[in-house]
Amino acid sequence: MVQPYTVDVLPNRNIPHPYPSGERLFSLLDSLWSSIGWRERGEAKWREALDHSRYCAYARIDTALVGFGRFVGDGTMGMFYDIGVHPAHQRKGVGRTLMTKLLDKVRDSGYASLGLFAWEYNPGNIAFYQSLGFERVSTGMECIPYMRRE
C-alpha cells in the first residue's frame, strides 16, 4: 500500500506546517540530502538558499520530509534547484507530484522561461524531466565551486 503524502508549495520564507522552526526543517533537509547521497549543507547554507528562492516545495508523510524542490526566479526567467526524493519513496509518484505542483505554481506566476540541471550520469532523471515537458539542450556551462570543495 502506498502511503499518502502531502506536497506543499510555499513562498520562500514560509516554514511548512508541521515544522515548528527553521532549525528543525534545516536538519530534515540535511537528512534528506544524506539519504540521497548528496552533501549536507547545514543551517546557514539552507537558510540562504531558501531565503533566495521564489518557491519551495515540501513532500511529506506526516512529519517525515520525503521530498523537496525549489525554484529561483526574477519574475520572467527562473531555474529549478535541489529536486530530491528520499530513496525509499522514489518511483512512487512523490517526485512527479512535487514537480507538477511546483511547475503549476511557477507557470501561474507568469514565468516565461524555466530551466533546470539534470546530471548526465542518471538517464532516468533526464527521462523524468522530459516527461514533464523539459527538453535537453546541447549548450551549457557550469561552475559550482561549493560542490567541488573538499
Which of the two residues, 142 and 113, has the higher pLDDT score? Answer: 113
Supply the pLDDT for residue 21: 65
- The string of pLDDT tens digits covering residues 98-128 is 999 999 999 999 999 999 988 887 888 899 9
Answering whether pTM is above 0.75, one says yes
- Tell me whether residue 1 is in a domain: no
Supply the pLDDT for residue 148: 46
Range of the domain at 63: 6-148
Please provide residue 70's backbone torsions phi and psi, each rounded to the nearest 5 degrees: -140, 160
Q: Which residues pair with 65 in a beta bridge?
A: 60
* The three grid cell numbers given for residue 54, joined into one nine-digit string: 521564489
- Tell me whether residue 16 is in a domain: yes
Number of domains into which the chain is organized: 1
Q: How far apart are the first and last CA of the chain?
A: 41
9-to-56, 70, 106, 124 alpha-carbon distances in Å? 6, 9, 10, 24
Q: CB within 8 A of 14, min separation 6: which ones?
A: 56
- Average confidence score pLDDT of the chain: 86
Please provide residue 72's backbone torsions phi and psi, each rounded to the nearest 5 degrees: -115, 130
- Tell me whether residue 83 is in a domain: yes
Which of the two residues, 31 and 2, has the higher pLDDT score? Answer: 31
- Tell me whether residue 116 is in a domain: yes
CATH number at residue 47: 3.40.630.30
Q: CB within 8 A of 16, min separation 6: which ones?
A: 8, 10, 25, 58, 60
Above 50 in pLDDT, residue 149?
no
- The string of pLDDT tens digits covering residues 41-72 is 998 999 899 989 999 999 999 888 999 999 99
